[in-house]
Homo-oligomer: A and B are copies of this chain.
């Protein structure tokens, strides 16, 4: 059942710990997965590095990339562009890696529409209260930002029915294993193994 890599989208409310989950998943299963790095026009936050968290660029360059068809999805969020450069995703999938896009809801549904075989996962906290406390607990955000984030989470809920799986990030290691198992299971779906089924069927007829 050899096959090329598959495309995976991971979204979730800000403050749900997606970044930490991704880091741990990539660390544990470095041979299986590649994390796509998004391009953005937002300014780097302290500590963020070019090509690690994002490729940082300006509006003009971003819009040129859109026009060239060089992004597999893009969205505007809080006044900035975010998008996924096509080239890296393509080359990693061809090399047999499952490529994970950590993107927000609008982009996620764009990807699903263009590539219906993409697996979409949405990460939620164990409860709404946990989310509120995590966002507030960072201590780096103003009340206005906290309120905007919570409001955004409510909006994002509307998009969850378009996803395939819901992951509850209660315990990091459990969540990482669940994500790995979902992806492994998806690779065993009948739809992804049509060629193998045809092969075994024609071999059976020859015996």
Which residues of A193-207 have CB atoms within 8 Å of chain B's CB atoms? Answer: 193-194, 196-197, 200-201, 203-207
Residue-wise, chain A 167-207 has the 8 Å CB interface mask toward B (1 for contact) of: 11000000000100110111011100110110011011111
Instruction: State how many angstroms separate the Cβ of A177 from the closest Cβ of chain B.
Output: 9
A148 within 8 A of B: no
Rounded to whole angstroms, the CA-CA distance of A181 and B177 in the bound complex is: 10
A160 within 8 A of B: yes
Instruction: State how many angstroms separate the Cβ of A64 from the closest Cβ of chain B.
Output: 36
Contacts of A33 in B (CB 8 A): none
A128 touches B190 (CB 8 A): no
B190 touches A129 (CB 8 A): no
Rounded to whole angstroms, the CA-CA distance of A154 and B190 in the bound complex is: 17
Copies of this chain, tallied across the complex: 2
A128 touches B181 (CB 8 A): no
**Which of B1, B161, B181, B194 interacts with A185 by CB under 8 Å?**
B181
Rounded to whole angstroms, the CA-CA distance of A185 and B201 in the bound complex is: 28
Contacts of A131 in B (CB 8 A): 204
**Which of B127, B160, B182, B189 interacts with A165 by CB under 8 Å?**
B189
A43 within 8 A of B: no
Chain A residues with a Cβ under 8 A of chain B: 1, 122, 124, 127-129, 131-132, 150, 153-154, 157, 160-161, 163-168, 178, 181-182, 184-186, 188-190, 193-194, 196-197, 200-201, 203-207
Can you report 24 residue pairs joining A to B where beta carbons are below 8 Å apart? A1-B166, A124-B197, A128-B204, A128-B207, A150-B204, A150-B207, A154-B201, A154-B204, A157-B200, A157-B204, A160-B190, A161-B194, A161-B197, A164-B189, A165-B188, A166-B189, A166-B190, A166-B193, A166-B196, A178-B188, A181-B181, A181-B185, A182-B185, A185-B186
